[in-house]
């Protein structure tokens, strides 16, 4: 749902707990690292202020530095698929939503800065880095040539749209799944850039099945940076 910083979403307090660590062998040692990045999906109900506050408490107890990765430019793909926006209009709206998230959550992040340094970083910026294009081209080629990796990425997208595309015909569903795969490949290239720059732990409220598979060694020809990444999936529990 759209991000909402108003009243009712902040009344429930949430506690973040580990749902899964990939690879499993790092479950007891992921916090030996000082740095992590928190992946932020725009228009996602897991990032309302109350839930976000619960995640920040969890992060601030384990990491001294956290990069808050805002999925602005990649969110344009979701907007194109679900709102039938043109590419240019979708990108403009995605950038606006990213700016809105930063503005609406400043106080939430400020409340946790005593223990942890939080820095906002947008996917639109990372996609301008020198290394991004190479990672994305490699992932695109890997997707086209490796059937197991392609099936994993497509299944991830199909599961996502299966819950959000009720009544959509098969042709439209295939189109949406294809665009979701484009989304994930861009996103994974961004993650590779962050790991390459010394941020080895990703934190996210939910599962990343393909990314977890890569971290666990199931896709041995995936980029080395993604194979090194430690993925911590959180579960948010209301209290």
pLDDT in the model for residue 114: 79
**Angstrom distance (rounded) from CA 130 to CA 4:** 35
The model's pLDDT over 72-129, given as tens digits with 9 standing for 90+, comes to 999 999 898 888 788 899 999 999 999 999 999 988 998 877 789 999 999 999 999 9
Q: Closest Cα to residue 51, out of 232, 206, 207, 231?
A: 206
Higher pLDDT, 137 or 87: 137
For residue 164, name the pLDDT band (cuts at 50, 70, 90). Answer: low
Q: Closest Cα to residue 214, out of 160, 161, 135?
A: 135
Most confident of 154-158, 159-163, 200-204: 200-204
**Using alpha carbons only, how large is the chain's radius of gyration in Å?**
17
pLDDT in the model for residue 90: 96
Token pair in block for residue 150: 């392609």
Give the residue carrying structure tokens 């340094």: 117
Predicted model pTM: 0.89
**Angstrom distance (rounded) from CA 193 to CA 199:** 9
**Helices 72-83 & 87-110 angle (0-180, nearest 10):** 130
Residue 239 reports pLDDT greater than 60:
yes
pLDDT in the model for residue 156: 80
* Domain edges within the chain: 7-238
Pick the CATH number of 7-238 from 1.25.40.420, 3.40.50.11710, 3.30.70.920, 3.40.50.300: 3.40.50.11710
pLDDT in the model for residue 165: 61
**Helices 170-196 & 72-83 angle (0-180, nearest 10):** 180
For residue 177, name the pLDDT band (cuts at 50, 70, 90). Answer: confident
**Angstrom distance (rounded) from CA 98 to CA 43:** 10
DSSP 37-64: EEEE-TT-GGGSHHHHHHHHHHHHTT-S
pLDDT in the model for residue 6: 38
Q: How many CB atoms lie within 10 A of CB 147?
A: 9
**Angstrom distance (rounded) from CA 11 to CA 95:** 28
The alpha carbon torsion through 88, 152, 223, 56 (nearest 10 deg) reads: 70
pLDDT in the model for residue 3: 37
pLDDT in the model for residue 92: 97
Residue 4 reports pLDDT greater than 60:
no
pLDDT in the model for residue 167: 63
pLDDT in the model for residue 24: 94
The DSSP output letter for 31 is G
- How do beta strands 14-22 and 230-238 pair? antiparallel
Q: Closest Cα to residue 188, out of 150, 144, 230, 225?
A: 225
CA 50 vs. chain centroid, Å, equals 18
**Angstrom distance (rounded) from CA 26 to CA 78:** 32
Of the ranges 3-7, 73-77, 82-86, 188-192, which one carries the lowest mean pLDDT score?
3-7
Residue 7 reports pLDDT greater than 50:
no
Higher pLDDT, 210 or 4: 210
């Amino acid at each position: 749902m759209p991000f909402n910083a108003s009243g009712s979403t902040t009344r429930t307090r949430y506690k973040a707990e580990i749902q899964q660590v990939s690879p499993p062998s790092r479950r007891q040692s992921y916090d030996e690292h000082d740095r992590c990045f928190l992946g932020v999906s725009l228009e996602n109900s897991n990032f309302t202020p109350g839930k976000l506050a619960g995640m920040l408490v969890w992060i601030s107890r384990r990491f001294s530095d956290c990069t808050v990765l805002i999925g602005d430019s990649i969110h344009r793909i979701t907007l194109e698929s679900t709102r039938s926006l043109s590419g240019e209009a979708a990108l403009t709206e995605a950038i606006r939503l990213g700016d809105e998230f930063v503005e609406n959550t400043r106080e939430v992040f400020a409340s946790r800065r005593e223990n942890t340094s939080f820095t906002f970083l947008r996917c639109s910026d990372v996609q301008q880095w020198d290394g991004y294009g190479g990672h994305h081209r490699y992932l695109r080629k890997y997707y086209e040539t490796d059937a197991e990796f392609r099936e994993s990425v497509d299944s991830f997208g199909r599961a996502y749209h299966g819950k959000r595309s009720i009544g959509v015909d098969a042709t439209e569903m295939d189109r949406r799944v294809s665009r979701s795969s484009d989304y994930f490949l861009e996103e994974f290239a961004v993650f590779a850039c962050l790991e390459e720059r010394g941020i080895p732990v990703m934190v996210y409220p939910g599962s990343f099945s393909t990314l977890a598979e890569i971290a666990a060694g199931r896709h041995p020809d995936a980029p080395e940076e993604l194979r090194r990444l430690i993925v911590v999936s959180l579960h948010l529990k209301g209290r």
